[in-house]
Amino acid sequence: MNNNFAMVSGVIEDDLVFSHECHETNFYETKLAVSRLSGVKDYVPIIISENLCYALEKGTFVEVFGQVRTHNRMGEDGRSHLDVYVFAKSVNVYVDEDNVNHSNDNFIELEGYVVKEPIYRQTPSGKSITDILIAVNRGYKNSDYIPCIVWGIVAENASQFIKVGDEIVLKGRFQSRVYWKKNIEDPENGEFKVAYEISCSELSEEMEAVFSETSGTESI
């Protein structure tokens, strides 16, 4: 299926740890530190099979090709949490990072259906954002529910014109974002959390009129 493509390249941030077993194959997880043009780093969760783990260790620079996947996990608080990650299909290992073309270290392309009414909001600095949740079919009657965000005038228009059931094609990057979550029972306290989502830079031709005024997505 060509509706879900991910390519991220960066430095392995953590040691690989066991994630799960499926069809007698072990899978491991780690994070990839992927640099933006601004110098800020996104920390992208990666799930990788034991068959691709050769020569992979903390500090190695790699190029990962795969798909964006999601999984609902029950947290210690008894609530369901959505894990978003890149499932590796192939991996290139580089001994010398200087030999790598860094023109596009973080590229995501998805085709899916909007499954939740878009939510428009503004950051504390006044920037407009619209949250979009899309379902991307995976096969075997499974789907990944992937959170995406768009910015600026694009976000304002998207909140008005995109609706549940629309099929969209989007391009962007995998983004990690730190935010402060208040404690419901004690609003004066809370903790820092990390959100993972796709920051969109381009949508399908059907929405071209809405998204033609975008001026970039390097923010947060």
E strands present in 95-141: 106-114, 119-122, 128-139
Measured from the Cβ of residue 7, the count of other Cβ atoms closer than 10 Å reads 17
- CATH class (in words) of the domain with range 4-95: mainly beta
Residues 195 and 181: beta-carbon distance below 8 Å: no
Inter-residue contact 23 to 40 (CB < 8 Å): no
Domain ranges of the chain: 4-95, 108-211
Reading the block at residue 145, the tokens are 């529910």
**Domain 108-211: what homologous superfamily?**
Nucleic acid-binding proteins (2.40.50.140)
Q: Above pLDDT 70, what percent of the chain?
A: 87
Q: What is the pLDDT of residues 139-173, one digit of tens each?
A: 788 899 999 999 888 888 888 889 999 999 999 99
pLDDT of the residue at 77: 67
Q: What per-residue confidence (pLDDT) applies to 156?
A: 87
Do domains 4-95 and 108-211 share one topology? The answer is: yes
pLDDT value, residue 135: 96
Q: What is the pLDDT of residues 92-144, one digit of tens each?
A: 998 877 777 777 899 999 999 999 999 999 988 888 999 999 999 997 888 99
Q: Choose the weakest-confidence range: 24-28, 35-39, 50-54.
A: 35-39
